[in-house]
């Protein structure tokens, strides 16, 4: 049987991650209100991202920063809620021994004023970032798990988020890969060919697998099932907390 692919034409490589560091609003007399924090943190292991654990190598953004990339600061990754931009000088990025630090001059907009209040209150306290991975190393762990070490990446945006892309105990694959899991990841994690015999898998389009009982980990439908299982677990946890 032909080895299956993602079943998407020109699949996006965009990925989102949670930084896990507190945000801070800084106010100085006569100066713009500033938002400060870390867009990314080095050498910090993620939770299980659906078959692999991930960490960022120190300096993984250095090559990208040297090109003066046009990066936006957003709210919840929403391009309609812009807080700053490197090209305009209102967003500044710098790597240090902790990670990728950012400083943003907040605009005099209703969204920015509301965000400032929410951060002061502690209602919003975390950040996320969007990137594409340019170079990484894979290391196989016991039990068939993998570690993905990102050596070089390009940054697209930093965002203040109400719900981070992943937390310490759980993650949502759909949030991490908003436009679909990149081919480079599914190819690395797939250890053998899908053996499902439905018409779609036989045609090499496992993303549209029509067998509801399919449990082949090498079938792309596993991504869909993982999304469903994670979302169900998160929903149950939230209901239990509400009760």
Residues 198, 127 within the same domain: no
Last residue of a domain, one of 136, 167, 198: 167
Residues 142, 24 within the same domain: yes
Res 46: pLDDT: 83
- Contact predicate 155/39, CB 8 Å: yes
Residues 161, 206 within the same domain: no
**153, part of any domain:** yes
Query: Residue 5 half-sphere exposure, CB side, CA atoms within 13 Å?
Result: 7
Res 106: pLDDT: 95
CA angle 228, 132, 175 (to 5 degrees): 20
Residues 58, 154 within the same domain: yes
Give the single-character DSSP code of 87: G
Sheet holding 24-26, edge to edge: 24-26, 34-41, 99-105, 91-95
Q: What are phi and psi of 189, to 5 degrees?
A: -85, -20
Res 7: pLDDT: 32
Domain count, the chain: 2
What is the extent of the structural domain holding 198? 190-243
Nearest to 165 by CA among 40, 31, 44, 16: 16
**203, part of any domain:** yes
Residues 51, 113 within the same domain: yes
Residues 92, 127 within the same domain: yes
**183, part of any domain:** no
Residue 14 in 3-state DSSP?
coil
Furthest CA-CA distance within the chain: 68
Residues 47, 158 within the same domain: yes
Nearest to 95 by CA among 153, 50, 141: 153
**174, part of any domain:** no
Residues 148, 220 within the same domain: no
Residues 199, 135 within the same domain: no
**172, part of any domain:** no
**198, part of any domain:** yes
The encoded tokens of residue 17 equal 């991650």
**123, part of any domain:** yes
**Angstrom distance (rounded) from CA 100 to CA 38:** 6
Residues 50, 113 within the same domain: yes
**5, part of any domain:** no
Prediction pTM value: 0.70
**Quick one: 10 exposed, middle or buried, by C-beta within 10 A (0-12, 13-18, 19+)?**
exposed
Local confidence pLDDT in tens for the 243 residues of the chain: 232 232 333 346 888 888 767 789 998 877 889 999 998 999 988 877 777 889 999 999 999 999 999 999 999 999 999 999 999 999 999 999 999 999 999 999 999 999 999 999 989 988 889 999 999 999 988 877 889 999 999 999 999 988 765 554 455 666 778 777 787 887 777 655 667 778 877 766 676 788 877 776 667 675 555 555 555 555 555 555 555
Residues 53, 109 within the same domain: yes
**Angstrom distance (rounded) from CA 81 to CA 161:** 12
Other Cβ atoms less than 10 A from the Cβ of 52: the count is 18
Residues 53, 141 within the same domain: yes
Nearest to 128 by CA among 148, 106, 100: 100
Other Cβ atoms less than 10 A from the Cβ of 149: the count is 16
């Amino acid at each position: 049987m032909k080895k299956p692919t993602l079943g998407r034409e020109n699949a996006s490589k965009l990925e989102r991650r949670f930084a896990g560091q507190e945000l801070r609003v800084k106010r100085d007399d006569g100066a713009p209100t500033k938002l400060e924090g870390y867009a990314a943190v080095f050498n910090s292991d993620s939770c299980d991202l659906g078959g692999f654990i991930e960490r960022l190598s120190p300096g993984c953004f250095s090559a990208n920063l040297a090109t003066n990339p046009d990066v936006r600061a957003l709210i919840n990754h929403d391009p309609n809620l812009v807080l700053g931009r490197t090209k305009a000088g209102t967003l500044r990025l710098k790597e240090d021994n902790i990670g990728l630090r950012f400083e943003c001059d907040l605009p005099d907009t209703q969204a920015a004023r509301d965000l400032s209040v929410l951060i002061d209150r502690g209602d919003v306290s975390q950040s996320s970032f969007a990137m594409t991975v340019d170079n990484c190393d894979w290391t196989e762990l016991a039990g068939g798990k993998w570690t993905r070490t990102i050596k070089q990446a390009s940054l697209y945006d930093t965002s203040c988020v109400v719900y981070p892309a992943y937390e310490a105990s759980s993650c949502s694959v759909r949030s991490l890969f908003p436009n679909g899991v990149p081919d480079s990841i599914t190819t690395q994690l797939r250890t053998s060919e899908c053996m499902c015999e439905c018409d779609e898998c036989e045609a090499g389009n496992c993303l549209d697998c029509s067998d509801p009982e399919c449990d082949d980990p090498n079938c792309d439908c596993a991504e869909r099932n993982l999304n469903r299982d994670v979302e169900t677990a998160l929903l149950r946890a939230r209901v239990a907390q509400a009760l």
